[in-house]
Amino acid sequence: MLFLAIITAPSIITIIDDTADVSVFYSLSEEEEENACFKMVITKTTEDNNSFFNTLQSANLGYYYKTYPKPHLNFTAPPPDFI
């Protein structure tokens, strides 16, 4: 509801009074953008990424890469008997 009120307020004020200054509503977003300050933090990690790759090598990745055998393709059975 607050968002709807902020969006529609300039239109409603302009309809009621043509001499009203509604530029304040449009400059609110600009003030937020001017005050935004971001700091980039870069940290150096000492962890060894090889432990991650070692766990991947030891894991059974056949199902992950879909290299497992498909036994349903080799399954041959006669059709069912009709009753």
10: nearest Cα among 34, 35, 28: 28
- What pLDDT is stored for residue 47 in this prediction? 62
Considering the domain boundaries, does residue 42 fall inside one?
no
**According to DSSP H, which parts of 1-83 are helical?**
2-16, 23-35, 50-58
Residue 81 within a domain: no
In a domain, 47, yes or no: no
pTM, two decimals, is 0.30
Range of the domain at 5: 1-31
**pLDDT in tens for each of the 83 residues of the chain?**
777 877 888 788 888 887 777 777 666 655 555 555 667 777 776 666 666 666 655 566 666 677 766 666 666 777 788 76
Q: Which pLDDT does position 35 carry in this prediction?
A: 57
